[in-house]
Amino acid sequence: MARNLVLTIVLTLLLVLPATAQSDDDFKNELSYGINLNSNGGLLGGAFVRNSWFMKERFYRFGGLEIVEIKHPKENRLYNPGSGDHFIAGKQNHFFAVRPHYGLEHVLFRKAAESGVQVNALGAVGPSLGLLIPYYIRYDYGGGLGNDVRTEAYDPEKHLNFENTLGNANVLTGLGETNINLGVHAKLGMSFEYGRYRESITGIEVGFLVEKYFKDMVMIPQTENYSTFTSVYLNIYYGRRK
């Protein structure tokens, strides 16, 4: 599936028009940034930044970077009434994907100079860095007495009783023990931009992404884990161009 998507993107990006001079409606450079929502990341997936350059009439190349959190589909969020805190049952690692990418963007429909909506088609590919950060919990070894509470990375062989799990620690607690994994990703999408002025834009981008790592990304060891991830996404962004 990943191979077919990459081939589709390559063929799409090759269907470009002969080079022409830059028109008055084309910008030279655009910097945009925003938030990402995706089907693997819960309410808020992450954030991204992108820089685009003019290539030929109606075509632009861009480089970008996005950082998103990926959650296991079987995550079960539990509540401990004694501590008033939450934790994910059986979770061993947070999973964050860092995705630098390069792509091409084609303007399908232009907007008017001062207002209106512009529609673009885009595709991008790039490497992926999968960050597995140990999931730390606060565990009561005193059997609920509260006299032996320790903050430790979750271990399925040690932390057998969920009732003794008082809550999870901050994600930064395990940052120094991050395990970095390599992969690749590709995406296809469409963006809809609105701007009252030529130099300022806001917009949304919707699309489909596939990502492949060279090993399974273990988030919950007691269940099935995966090396390939697919998602639909929505980016909400703001930018300036010149």
Torsion angle (degrees, nearest 10) of CA 151, 159, 88, 85: -50
Instruction: Establish if 14 belongs to a structural domain.
Output: no
Nearest to 191 by CA among 181, 177, 202, 200: 202
Instruction: Establish if 236 belongs to a structural domain.
Output: yes
Instruction: Establish if 23 belongs to a structural domain.
Output: no
Q: What is the pLDDT along the chain (242 residues), one digit of tens a residue?
A: 555 554 555 454 444 333 334 444 566 888 999 999 999 987 789 999 999 999 888 899 999 999 999 999 999 999 998 888 999 999 999 999 999 999 999 999 887 555 678 899 999 999 999 999 999 999 998 876 667 899 999 998 899 888 899 999 998 999 999 999 999 999 999 999 887 656 788 999 999 999 999 999 999 999 999 999 999 999 999 998 87
In the chain, how many domains are there? 1
Return the pLDDT at 14.
47
pLDDT tens by residue, 119-140: 999 999 999 999 999 999 999 9
Instruction: Establish if 165 belongs to a structural domain.
Output: yes
Q: Which CATH number goes with the domain that contains 214? A: 2.40.160.20
Instruction: Establish if 137 belongs to a structural domain.
Output: yes
- Write down the pTM of the prediction: 0.84
Instruction: Establish if 182 belongs to a structural domain.
Output: yes
Dihedrals phi, psi of 171, to nearest 5 degrees? -60, -25
Instruction: Establish if 232 belongs to a structural domain.
Output: yes
Residue owning tokens 């062989």: 157
Instruction: Establish if 91 belongs to a structural domain.
Output: yes
The domain in which residue 151 lies consists of 2-9+28-241
